[in-house]
Amino acid sequence: MKIDIQQSWWAMNGLGNDNREWTMEEKFEKIAEAGFTGIMGELPEEHDMDKWRRLLDEYQFSFGIHSFPSKREDLQQLLTKAKEFGVQYVSSQVMDDFIIGEEAVQLLKSLVDEAKKVNIPYFVETHRGRITQDLIRTVNYVKEISDLRLTVDLSHYVVAGEGCHSKKAEECFDILLKRTSSIHARVSNGHQIQIDIGSDGNHPMTERFVKWWEKGMSYWLQEANQGDVLPLVCELGPPDYSITKHTSIDTIEISDRWEQAIVFKRILEEAWGRVVQSHSSVTR
């Protein structure tokens, strides 16, 4: 049982130096040098598959993918291709936020069933603007679907609830965290979806998110079997996720996204270490 700290490929958009973006090969090299063990991205197009497979094998990276299904059929072909490509897991932002109630439950059940047919790990991401638009409805989905597993990104619910400081919110978070199968690392302050937490990570909101991540890791560890892997993804998005300032010449990010990704990686590693230590002391 171990973690797999992956860098989001989407989060590599626009990163580079000397006034140019890094090439695909340079991005792989940077990710490896920073100590990441995998990448989360999209299933490559047919013309790019050989290149992706070569680089993934060269760096011995794991590879998880995201998807955006709005119906069962959207997943069928993707899951088969993902299995053939050797994808570690498939995570979905399920479309869209106007599907609610029993219709939403049945759609989610159908997606989970499709993944079972292919025998590939499948998770639904807690994401605003999707079928998981808000905390309350997502809690209801979890209660209705016993085998629904989640990619947990609580930044969406924190920004939607301007901090989610209430006891009721904590209780709802706990219900979702018990279904943790992957975690996306990003910190919201309740007003922006993604903030710079500083080079040492000691922004006031960081501690709250770390506690949630540790709780999700702990729940996962309690249920995990020998050989299971928990993907932890550093997912700091490019503009317009990142905060920017506008000049007469350009739009500039106020944060060094790559350096921040490395900070998040360290925080995740330390959090996992504490969880494993706590788990070991309990099971002795």
What is the per-residue pLDDT across 30-64, written as a single tens digit (0 to 9) for each? 999 999 999 999 999 999 999 999 999 999 999 99
Pick from 261, 255, 247: nearest CA to 186: 261
Pick from 112, 123, 104, 2: nearest CA to 65: 123
Q: Report angle CA 279, 154, 196 to the nearest 5 degrees.
A: 100
Q: How far apart are CA 135 and CA 276, in angstroms?
A: 28
Mean pLDDT for 133-158 is 97
List of residues 6+ apart from 162 with CB closer than 8 A = 190, 191
Task: Report residue 92 as tokens.
Answer: 């979905």
| 97 prior amide bond cis, ω within 30 | no
Pick from 226, 61, 144, 80: nearest CA to 124: 144
Q: Binning pLDDT at 50, 70 and 90, where does residue 284 land? A: low
Looking at the chain, the whole-number percentage of residues with pLDDT higher than 90 is 90
| Secondary structure percentages of the chain, helix, strand, coil, to 5 | 45, 15, 35
- pTM of the predicted structure, to 2 decimals: 0.95
